Amino acid sequence: MIEGSNSKPTRVGISRRRFMRNVGLPAGAVTLWPLVNLTATETYGPWISLFNGRDLTGWEGVNGTSTNWKVENGVLINTGRKEGNATWIAHQRVFADFEVEVEFRFEAGCNSGVFFRTPLVKKSPAYMGNEIQIADMSDSQLQEKLTPDRHMGALYNVSPPSRDATRKPGEWHRMSIHCVRERCRVTVKDRVVQDVDLTRFSDEVKEEHPGLLRTDGHIGLQSKETRIEFRKVRIRKIL
């Protein structure tokens, strides 16, 4: 079943030059983006479980097979992507304005993500759609490798998280992604790590990431080489 797209509502350190380029403001400008209460005038639909706790019903592998995903004891597990496996799995339904909540834990060195408003593309889903990064920031090699806009809670390669909300490998995390029109707020452990206007970034960034301007798309989970487990993936539409 495909949802329509007309649904309407009733730092860690990154270089200042890169940040100003992203938001489209000149160097030296002062930016004060107060948090906005997105829930004040919203009406929510019921929670819908995208993962049924038994199998991959409703999900499909993109750009490969989903044989590296399995369900054990009510937990959805990516055992580690190998050659021929999908680069991500997508839920078949399409959502516009929504709140999606996931609970996950990972092994050391994990580098994964949750996609939203993403089309079924084989390449560059984080650019053609949008991705909130999952990363083990306790791993020294990842810390050295990843720029701040690829840390845990980052809007991938666009906006770094406002704080480090990572738990240790093996501990459960809870992430919420809340999108109404162009506004996107992300929390990890109930702490806000993103509160952005997806259309406010510079023309250069929006050209590189056309997914920022999408109004609907699929929810997806990234397949990487390191094991990650999801015990909850649920969503509710914002009406």
pLDDT in tens, the chain (239 residues): 434 444 433 333 344 344 444 544 433 333 334 444 555 578 999 999 999 999 999 999 999 999 999 999 999 999 999 999 999 999 999 999 999 999 999 999 999 999 999 999 999 999 999 999 999 999 999 999 999 999 999 999 999 999 998 889 999 999 999 999 999 999 999 999 999 999 999 999 999 999 999 999 999 999 999 999 999 999 999 99
Residue 166: predicted pLDDT: 86
Instruction: Determine, yes or no, domain membership for 110.
Output: yes
Q: At residue 116, what are phi and psi to the nearest 5 degrees?
A: -145, 155
By residue range, what is the domain housing residue 169? 16-24+38-237
Residue with tokens 């799995």: 89
C-alpha dihedral, 200 to 203 to 207 to 210, nearest 10°: 20
pLDDT of residue 36: 47
DSSP state of 168: P
Dist CA 18 CA 27 (whole Å): 9
- Residue 38's pLDDT is what? 54
What are the residues facing 74 on neighbouring strands?
Answer: none
Residue 3 lies inside a defined structural domain of this protein:
no
- CA–CA gap between residue 206 and residue 213 (Å, rounded): 8
CATH number of the domain that 232 lies in?
2.60.120.560
The verdict on residue 144 lying in a domain is yes
30 in any annotated domain: no
If one counts the domains in the chain, the total is: 1
pLDDT of 238 reads 97
List Cβ neighbours of 26 (8 Å cut-off, separation of 6 or more).
20
In a domain, 230, yes or no: yes
Q: Which amino acid is at 77?
A: I
**Residue 119 covered by a domain:** yes
Give me the pLDDT at residue 14, please: 41
Task: Count CB atoms within 10 A of the CB of residue 72.
Answer: 9
What pLDDT does 225 receive?
93
Q: What is the pLDDT of residue 207?
A: 97
Residue 40's contacts (CB-CB under 8 Å, 6 or more residues apart) are none
* Residue 226 domain flag: yes
Asked if residue 33 is part of any domain, the answer here is: no
- Measured between alpha carbons, how far is 47 from 70 in angstroms, rounded to an integer? 23
